[in-house]
Amino acid sequence: MLIPPPLSLYVHLPWCVRKCPYCDFNSHEFRGGTPPFDAYVDALLADLDQDLPLVWGRSVHSVFFGGGTPSLFPADAIERILQGASARLRFTPEAEITLETNPGTAEHGRFEDYRRAGVNRISFGIQTFDDATLKTLGRIHDGAQASAAVALARDAGFDNFNLDLMYALPGQTLAMAEDDVMRAIELAPTHISHYQLTLEPNTVFAARPPGGIPDDDLAWDMQERCQALLADAGYAQYEVSAYARAGRQCAHNLNYWRFGDYLGIGAGAHGKLTLGSEQAIARRWKQKHPTAWLATAGTPASIGGDERIAPERRPFEYMLNALRLAEGFTLAAFEARTGLPGDAIHARLAVAVDAGWLHLEGDRVVPTPLGQRFTNDVVALFLED
Ligand SMILES: C[S@@+](CC[C@H](N)C(=O)[O-])C[C@H]1O[C@@H](n2cnc3c(N)ncnc32)[C@H](O)[C@@H]1O
Ligand code: SF4
């Protein structure tokens, strides 16, 4: 029996000052003047109106403004989005509301205004504090500006913030990777995301890879050393790339990884929704290009695709998310989220346990350190036959 899980709202804001050469997000350099903020906000609310019948009566537990560079948007635009959303949907009183911020766009007064607009969590795209590497990455800020942006947010009263770091960067040594993590810890964030740089297809880095990218062994050493530094400083790893102080995990991302539901509004945004009455799980995504989406938002033409996740595919999709988590999952959660009986995965679970990838802790299925290293292989076991 499918039971509707917590609901989140993802809002995609697609523009950036400059496109970074490693980035394959749906982000677009805006050339000439300022992006059409007002028209975009109107379009977001029309987009939300169109999706509302899928979530009647449900409450929103978290909102995430992702990008692109959401911090390009002025606070009054963010406020209008939040006011419009809360007029259409019930927000829980403790709802986590995160805004992604590029340190190169931080300026005095901005963070106060974002707080007044209702944002209560900031996620900074720091990447590294090393100035030469920031240049190679095409970033618009240096290390000092990154630290200064965090100080501005803290002064404005934000006590809940994340720093995004990347490792295995061009020319990076183990000591440099450790130094980045230590500098991040000094800024006392509640959360750190630590991503291995990947060369994504259709990016400048994939076409012309920069020299000096650490090999797999060095990348693995970096991840292990940084994980230890973070643990010593009180940041527990709870997902492949996510570390948090106690009680400060990202509620929004946790909901994704626990196979929760989310509405996705804005250019290219994806949503996943449990439809209790139909006993179905729907995925819906929007037109990807901002211009195409803006021209059609709120109409069926803005929908890039709409599909149901077939029951046979649900175990794989569930594992793709849940096995990223250190906590793993319970069979009861699997049943509630997929609508399938636990029997549907017993044989495959047994194979993974025999391989030393998963182990059982009471009613929990938890990835072992080996399983965490080979997540893709474990997840592949659950592909439909
Ligand atoms: C949408 S971006 C975040 C916010 C903002 N656009 C910025 O870059 O400052 C999300 C994060 O994904 C990570 N990321 C992007 N491309 C990546 C890649 N190719 N490999 C690893 N991490 C990547 C970066 O740490 C980035 O901060
Ligand atoms: S600023 Fe962020 S979203 Fe924009 S191109 Fe760079 S990494 Fe991608």
The tens digit of pLDDT for each residue in 64-82 reads 999 999 999 999 999 999 9
Torsion over CA: 331, 335, 341, 347 (sign): negative
Residue 122 C-alpha to ligand 1 middle, in angstroms?
A: 14
The DSSP code sequence of 221-236 is: HHHHHHHHHHHHTT-E
Domain 312-380 annotated CATH 3.90.180.10: no
pLDDT in tens, 309-351: 999 999 999 999 999 999 999 999 999 999 999 999 999 999 9
Whether the per-residue pLDDT at 46 is higher than 90: the answer is yes
Residues 56 and 126: their CA atoms lie apart, in Å, by 38
> Which residue has a Cα nearest atom 20 of ligand 1?
197
Residue with tokens 């350190």: 369
Ligand 2 in contact with 16 (CB < 6 A)?
A: yes
Average pLDDT for 84-104: 97
Outline where the chain has alpha helix (H): 37-51, 75-88, 110-117, 131-136, 143-155, 174-186, 204-207, 216-232, 251-257, 290-296, 314-322, 331-338, 343-354, 369-373, 375-380
Residue 23 C-alpha to ligand 1 middle, in angstroms?
A: 7
Whether the per-residue pLDDT at 194 is higher than 80: the answer is yes
Output the six-digit token pair for 171.
């020319």
Ligand 1 in contact with 14 (CB < 6 A)?
A: no
Question: Can you state the angle between helices 110-117 and 143-155, rounded to 10 degrees?
Answer: 50
Q: Right CATH number for 7-255 from 1.20.1250.20, 2.40.50.100, 1.20.950.20, 3.80.30.20?
A: 3.80.30.20
Whether the Cβ atoms of residue 85 and residue 48 lie closer than 8 Å to each other:
yes
| pLDDT for the residue numbered 106 | 86
CA distances from 325 to 47, 241, 313, 315 (A): 31, 10, 20, 16
Residue with tokens 């997840």: 379
Is residue 32 very low, low, confident or very high in pLDDT (cuts 50, 70, 90)? confident
Residue 135 C-alpha to ligand 2 middle, in angstroms?
A: 14
Q: Could you state, in order of their start, the residue ranges of all structural domains in the chain? A: 7-255, 312-380
Mean pLDDT of the chain: 97
Average pLDDT for 157-180: 98
